[in-house]
Amino acid sequence: MVQPPAFIDPANPHHVCKLQISLYGLKQAPRAWYEAFYGAILSLGFVSSSSDTSLFIKKNSTITFILVYVDDIIITGSSPTVCQSIISKLQSLFLVKDLGDIHYFLGIEVHRSSTGLFLHQSKYALDLLKKIDMLGVKPCSTPVSSAKLDHSGTILSDPTLYQSTVGALQYLTWTRPDLAFAVNQVCQHMHAPRTIHRQAVKRILRYLKGTIDSGLWFKPGNQFLTAWSDADWAGCPVDRRSTSGYCVFLGPNLISWSAKKQTTMARSSTEAEYRSLANTAAEITWVCKILQDLSFPLLRPPVIFCDNQSAIALAKNPVFHARTKHVEIDYHYIREKVLHDHISIHHVPTLFQIADIFTKSLFASRFATLSHKLSVCSPPFSLRGCVKDTE
């Protein structure tokens, strides 16, 4: 390895460094690899997406996509022949192993059928339960109880197991949106977890035990982008900050979701809901840019459903501005989107608010109903690979 700039030995400027450890383990290795791969992929005619630097696109008579996560790569496109040609060219530049059709990627398992695509992390979840010796626990119907987490209880003497378990649960939310709110709650106490927080994690794991095979089901549908936005005003008993939640659907398929505590305190439920609307609008704007890069046209402007009439009026009518001077200016970004017809906002009754599942604890029956609406379901494939009825 050549000597790094500013650290060249003046007595031996042309010498090289002998590595004591693998380059793969160095902090700068991912960046060095990305620069090498980036140059190679551009030489093959690909361009980087303006919205996601890990996505590369090549358009001519066909369209091809490459998605990169360090050295794990997915290639897809409209022509299998072109995709295979790209793989062959990459094999001439790097040591590449072609694993064929995607079945397993970064802990996410992929199953196909003639009616759709099923993504799940059953193996990852099973390994997690084995690791912390909770395979024999009794399942429960929801991942979070009605009691809100506070600072009661005794601080754990060794928080390592708590922190590693919660970190592992965060990765599970890639295919388990039903866990998003519960995981968000326990993540807020990573620095000084207490016994009450450990009990909350155990409840999540008990719920996981009963839904070990659940995942996301994707199927063909319309080209409409819809979202649900909700907020739980002053829901945190510790600092009285609100929790925002949203979910974004492309046709019938859930493609983006979030459960997150707001960074500042809201002085009213309208303000909390309005901030959640602004976050949802920002996410939809990013999704629209990705779809534009993918040459995927939308047949109508995106629609956001909200159950707060005042927040909807605030987004549509600037007359309310005099009463909302304390709301940060950047949250009024959603008004511009509405005025230019980039996004439309509609009211939905609270009973039909899907994003409820991302902002608060729910009764088992309502939780099950909303999980089903998120397309979180048991696998449409049996262990022998037979398709089960998913209707």
Q: Under 8 Å CB-to-CB from 227, ≥6 apart: which residues?
A: 246, 247, 248, 249, 280, 283, 284, 302, 303, 304, 305
pLDDT tens-digit map of 316-375: 876 655 566 667 776 778 888 998 889 999 999 999 999 999 999 999 999 999 999 999
The model's pTM: 0.87
Buried b or exposed e, range 81-102, using 16+ CB within 10 angstroms:
ebbeebeebbeeeeeeeeeeee
Tokens 């995942």 — which residue?
Answer: 215
Q: Which neighbouring-strand residues pair with 65?
A: 57, 76
Give me the pLDDT at residue 335, please.
Answer: 85
Give strand ranges (E) for 158-251.
Answer: 215-218, 225-232, 243-250
| Mean pLDDT score across all residues of the chain | 89
Q: How far apart, in whole angstroms, are the C-alpha atoms of residue 324 and residue 345?
A: 19
> What percent of the chain has pLDDT above 70?
93
Nearest to 256 by CA among 297, 211, 289: 289
247 strand-pairing partners: 228, 257
Mean pLDDT of 177-182: 96
Q: Side chain identity at 263, as an amino acid letter?
A: T
What is the C-alpha separation between 352 and 356, in angstroms, rounded? 9
Contact present, 129 and 123 (Cβ < 8 Å): no
pLDDT digits (tens, 9 = 90+) for 51-108: 888 999 999 889 999 999 888 999 999 999 999 999 999 999 988 899 989 999 998 9
Question: Exposed (0-12), middle (13-18) or buried (19+): which is 129, by Cβ within 10 Å?
Answer: middle
Residue 278 has a pLDDT of: 92
Tell me the domains of the chain and their CATH numbers: 1-100 (no CATH), 221-360 (3.30.420.10)
